[in-house]
Amino acid sequence: MAYEDGATAIEVRNLTRVYQTGRNGDQVRANDDLTFSIARGEVFGLLGANGAGKTTLVSQLLGLVRPTSGSIRIEGVDVVSDPEAVKAMTGFLPQTGLSMRLVEVRRALHYTGRLRGQSEKEARHQTTELIEELGLESVADRYVDQLSGGMMRLANFGMALMGRTRLLILDEPTNELDPRNRRLIWDMVARRSLTEGTTVVLVTHNVLEAEKAVHRVGVMHGGRLTALGTPGELKATLGDKVRMELFVKDSESLKPAEMSLLERVGSVVPGGREGVYLVHSDPESMPDLVKAVTSDLGMARVDDFKLSRPTLEDVYLSMDGGDSAAPIPELVAKPLPAPEPAVPVARLPLKERARRLLVDFKYLWLEQMLEVRTTWTWSLLFGLLMPVAMVFGLSRIGGGLNDPTSLLYIVSGAAIFSVATEGVATLAQRIGVIKTDGMMVYYASLPISKASFVGALVLSRLILIMPGLITPMVAAGLMYDVDFTISPALLLVLPLSCLALSAIGLAIGTLINSMDLIVVITNLLIFVLLLAAPVLIPPESLPLPLQVLGYLLPPTYAADALRHTLSGDLGAAFTLDIVVLTAMTVFGLAGAARWIRWRLA
């Protein structure tokens, strides 16, 4: 096998990760002094019960979680000091939380390849190749989100393979797949390991399947490695045993007396489901075992039983029998050779970095824009109709129609109100969804910069919210013959207002971790906007506390700037508005870039 050439791909030394839980300083050692290595081209299975520490280990391999102590080297590169270099050589399939759900399968693959640094030609070529290899031709032009669970998993697996990375980290790749597709995945993994020397870390609960696919297995329990070796080595720990899988009638549990009948002839562990037990005994005790089951326990209690040689699952279940699961020293205490100095990672030249930033920005922006396809008609309709309705409705009140100042307030207020609701509220909520659905982890696992991610998110929204700014002016022009000239100041104020309000929305969404709170805060903002802000109402007609409150809100400055622009009054007040809007844009974008958690912890 390719991996036997001995080169080390992953080296983990004394890796410990401690989490603080709760307020009273409780600690969880999610990874406890792990030391092991994985060879280049090896398929390494990571097994362990829920909470064993697998995700914590994988997150550290990906540079998403910082170790409390110890080190990880991937292809000689230190993960903590050069996470970007490691991300560039890693394809990742998370269990959940993939992005690119609302684009077509073909695009999801192509864009992922581009974001992993492939050229346009390479990305197109590999996309076509993978669609064929995965048998996804008939759904290649359907949205990923609209595929069946299994098909979606295949598409996600394809995304992990894009970029032909040296390392693949696959979390439960065969979940939801039928037996034929499961075999397809294992064959594809084996091919990559064998012919391309790809190193694969496979997290799985499906021990029986993993046995066929992996070269070596690491079993984790309570944050520690309790066994590490080939499936053959692990099975040898059970010795020359016979295995019986016993199914109790009606899936009932065995009573203590019944358990002791079986324990007389072998060791008994639960078989992973209610009413299923695994009994391991010496070959010479087999007749006694069969007798214990058929006559002592009696066929009135037994539904079925199967006799076979032990499998990896037996080793796993016998090791994972609660807190007593002790490490098998001969399988875990293999020392690593003395560490070599970490391979220094050369920084890309400035020009190349700028090119990558633009490519990342383009594909992230395209993804965001295309995701909006499912809702753009509603957003646009809302952005067009609401301001028109406001201009029409508000101009009927009081002296609106006859009074140019009121009309100016109505037009600028309607424009800014619609942009504030769309810009602040929808962007804050969008980033909230990205965080709560776990998609942020996926973006963070790609070798992209936060700047291109934030920029793409904000700019994709501008196209949707800009019409809301322009329609009130067009409506006033058509309905009331008001002539607003397009001045250079207007061309500055319109995008700057959109940018400032979107940046604030993004900052709110990134800073607050509860989706419910994001919804409450953004609605509160709109409520205050209607009640107090001098957006639709001249400030002098508001009591002082409400005026002050209004001037604390970004939309007030946007509305003020728009009014000054439309009336041609570009004095000191207008300059102040522009300064405040610019400051808000910078603060919002810088804050969002800082608060977005590219590392989980």
State the nearest-atom distance from the C-beta of 276 to ligand ATP, in Å.
Answer: 20
State the nearest-atom distance from the C-beta of 440 to ligand ATP, in Å.
Answer: 14
Residue placing its CB nearer to ligand ATP in the complex, 76 or 327:
327
State the nearest-atom distance from the C-beta of 168 to ligand ATP, in Å.
Answer: 18
Residue placing its CB nearer to ligand ATP in the complex, 30 or 464:
30
Residue placing its CB nearer to ligand ATP in the complex, 57 or 580:
57
DSSP code string of 471-537: HHHHHHHHHH-------HHHHHHHHHHHHHHHHHHHHHHHH---HHHHHHHHHHHHHHHHHT-TTTS
CB neighbour class for 132 (10 Å; exposed up to 12, middle 13-18, buried from 19)? exposed
Q: Which of 554, 338, 551 is CA-nearest to residue 428?
A: 554
State the nearest-atom distance from the C-beta of 271 to ligand ATP, in Å.
Answer: 19
Q: Which residues bind ligand ATP (CB under 6 A)?
A: 19, 21, 28, 30, 48, 50-56, 601
Residue placing its CB nearer to ligand ATP in the complex, 52 or 268:
52
Beta carbons within 8 Å of 431's beta carbon, 6+ residues apart: 457, 505, 506, 509, 510, 592, 596
State the nearest-atom distance from the C-beta of 169 to ligand ATP, in Å.
Answer: 13
State the nearest-atom distance from the C-beta of 31 to ligand ATP, in Å.
Answer: 7
Residue 479, CB-side half-sphere exposure with 13 Å CA sphere: 19
Q: Residue 316 in contact with residue 220, Cβ under 8 Å? A: no
Residue placing its CB nearer to ligand ATP in the complex, 51 or 76:
51
Residue placing its CB nearer to ligand ATP in the complex, 320 or 371:
320
Q: Which of 513, 52, 137, 132 is CA-nearest to residue 316?
A: 52
State the nearest-atom distance from the C-beta of 69 to ligand ATP, in Å.
Answer: 16
Beta carbons within 8 Å of 21's beta carbon, 6+ residues apart: 27, 28
Beta carbons within 8 Å of 471's beta carbon, 6+ residues apart: 383, 384, 387, 388, 415, 418
Beta carbons within 8 Å of 533's beta carbon, 6+ residues apart: 549, 550, 553, 555, 556, 559
State the nearest-atom distance from the C-beta of 444 to ligand ATP, in Å.
Answer: 14
Residue placing its CB nearer to ligand ATP in the complex, 78 or 320:
320
State the nearest-atom distance from the C-beta of 317 to ligand ATP, in Å.
Answer: 15
Residue placing its CB nearer to ligand ATP in the complex, 34 or 584:
34
State the nearest-atom distance from the C-beta of 209 to ligand ATP, in Å.
Answer: 16
> What distance in Å separates the CA atoms of residue 231 and residue 331, rounded to the nearest whole number?
11
Residue placing its CB nearer to ligand ATP in the complex, 56 or 426:
56
Beta carbons within 8 Å of 73's beta carbon, 6+ residues apart: 10, 11, 79, 339, 342
State the nearest-atom distance from the C-beta of 227 to ligand ATP, in Å.
Answer: 15
Residue placing its CB nearer to ligand ATP in the complex, 51 or 97:
51
Residue placing its CB nearer to ligand ATP in the complex, 16 or 429:
16
DSSP code string of 400-457: TTT-HHHHHHHHHHHHHHHHHIIIIIIHHHHHHHHHHTTHHHHHHHSS--HHHHHHHH
> What distance in Å separates the CA atoms of residue 225 and residue 215, rounded to the nearest whole number?
17
Q: Which of 552, 554, 515 is CA-nearest to residue 428?
A: 515
Give just the sign of the alpha carbon dihedral 248, 251, 253, 257.
negative
Please give the backbone phi and psi of residue 302, each rounded to the nearest 5 degrees, phi first.
-105, 130
Q: Which of 537, 528, 544, 530 is CA-nearest to residue 560?
A: 537
Q: Which of 578, 422, 412 is CA-nearest to residue 488?
A: 578
State the nearest-atom distance from the C-beta of 286 to ligand ATP, in Å.
Answer: 35
DSSP code string of 192-235: HHHHH--EEEEE-S-HHHHHHH-SEEEEEETTEEEEEE-HHHHH
State the nearest-atom distance from the C-beta of 53 to ligand ATP, in Å.
Answer: 4
What crossing angle do the helices spanning 515-531 and 404-420 adopt, rounded to 10°?
180
Q: Residue 373 in contact with residue 456, Cβ under 8 Å? A: no
> What distance in Å separates the CA atoms of residue 262 and residue 255, rounded to the nearest whole number?
11
Residue placing its CB nearer to ligand ATP in the complex, 35 or 267:
35
Residue placing its CB nearer to ligand ATP in the complex, 61 or 431:
61
State the nearest-atom distance from the C-beta of 600 to ligand ATP, in Å.
Answer: 7
Residue placing its CB nearer to ligand ATP in the complex, 183 or 205:
205
